[in-house]
């Protein structure tokens, strides 16, 4: 069974399939916007859902290592970089949708909003931290930086997920909705706890 799964993960079709799966939420949102199926406030729905897919992408990226260790499927590691880049892609669309649909691309108002509202500051900070990670998620960047420095830089993903979670919690707190933030916080605690446990064992 493991051999068949490994062969499937290593197949030439695996990465193109993952690429299409990662684009599927965007395609659905575009369809929903075109078909007027995003509810009474489509702009807010678009911003929120792009943010949701950013979080899901980040959490899936972090889940690769524990899944690889638990299942023994080393080939899972080849998908981590693509998931990370797509997380940045959705984060950038989330930021663009907020800047355009909510703020009308008025950069003075955007800067004032970032300074005024802490949850916006958290979200923007997470995006800024993701920027160098996405920019160096290529083989040439790894060679240029060296494996050790590249790995040290990409440990910033742990700061990204914590800040992104704070952004999400703060945003939902305004609407007294703590159920989804609690789910994401629990999953993150498990993902980070697994890493800590593995390090203490080693």
Q: pLDDT tens digits for 53-97?
A: 999 999 999 999 999 998 999 999 999 999 999 999 999 999 999
What's phi and psi for 175, nearest 5 deg? Answer: -110, 10
Threshold 0.85, pTM exceeds: yes
pLDDT attached to residue 202? 66
Q: pLDDT tens digits for 123-144?
A: 999 999 999 999 999 888 888 8
Q: What is the DSSP annotation of 99-152?
A: IIIITTT-HHHHHHHHHH-HHHHHHHHHHHHHHHHHHT-SHHHHHHH-HHHHHH
Q: How many residues does the chain have?
A: 202
d(CA 120, CA 45): 17
Q: pLDDT tens digits for 13-31?
A: 999 999 999 999 999 999 9
The range of the structural domain enclosing residue 92 comes to 2-201
d(CA 132, CA 157): 10
Q: How confident is the model at residue 199 (pLDDT cuts 50, 70, 90)?
A: confident
Average pLDDT, the chain: 93
Other beta carbons within 10 Å of 164: 26
For the chain, the domain total comes to 1
pLDDT for residue 174 is more than 90: no
Taking residues 110-118, what's their average pLDDT? 94
Q: pLDDT tens digits for 93-107?
A: 999 999 999 999 999
């Amino acid at each position: 069974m493991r051999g068949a799964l490994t062969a499937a993960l290593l197949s030439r079709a695996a990465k193109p399939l993952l690429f299409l799966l990662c684009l599927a939420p965007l395609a659905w949102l575009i369809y929903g916007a075109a078909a007027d199926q995003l509810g009474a406030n489509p702009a807010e729905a678009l911003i929120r859902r792009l943010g949701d897919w950013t979080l899901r992408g980040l959490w899936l990226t972090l889940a690769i290592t524990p899944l690889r260790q638990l299942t023994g499927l080393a080939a899972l590691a080849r998908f981590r970089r693509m998931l990370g880049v797509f997380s940045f892609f959705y984060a950038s669309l989330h930021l663009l949708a907020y800047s355009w649909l909510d703020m009308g691309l008025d950069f003075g108002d955007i800067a004032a909003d970032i300074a005024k509202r802490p949850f916006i500051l958290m979200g923007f900070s997470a995006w800024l931290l993701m920027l160098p990670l996405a920019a160096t998620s290529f083989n040439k960047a790894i060679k240029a930086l060296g494996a050790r420095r590249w790995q040290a830089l990409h440990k910033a993903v742990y700061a990204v997920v914590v800040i992104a979670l704070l952004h999400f919690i703060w945003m939902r707190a305004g609407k007294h909705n703590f159920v989804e933030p609690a789910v994401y916080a629990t999953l993150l605690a498990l993902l980070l706890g697994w890493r800590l446990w593995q390090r203490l064992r080693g």
